[in-house]
Amino acid sequence: MSWWDMGDHGFYVWTAYGLAFIFSLWLIAWPLYKQGRFLRQLKQQADSLEAASEAEPWPQPPASDDVP
């Protein structure tokens, strides 16, 4: 009987440990992935707003001597 077989209980034991490993990885990786994507999206939005305001500057108020 090898240690891996665990007396015909190997399938149950290794599946349980595998599930725990995958679940722990998901618990950590999922919020990190979503946070990275969220911050990238927010930065893109801020950059595009900044680029738009540089391309089309706000209309300047008329000079005082133009005012009738």
- Burial bucket for residue 10 (CB in 10 Å: 0-12, 13-18, 19+): middle
Alpha-carbon distances, residue 58 vs 53, 61, 66 (angstroms): 7, 9, 18
Q: Single out the residue of 43, 48, 51, 53 in contact with another protein (rule: CB under 8 A).
A: 43
25 contacts another protein (rule: CB under 8 A): no
- What part of residues 1-20 is at the interface with another protein (CB under 8 A)? 3, 6-10, 12-13, 15-17, 19-20
SS3 66: helix
Q: Which residues contact another protein (rule: CB under 8 A)? A: 3, 6-10, 12-13, 15-17, 19-20, 23-24, 26-28, 31-32, 34-36, 38-39, 42-43, 46
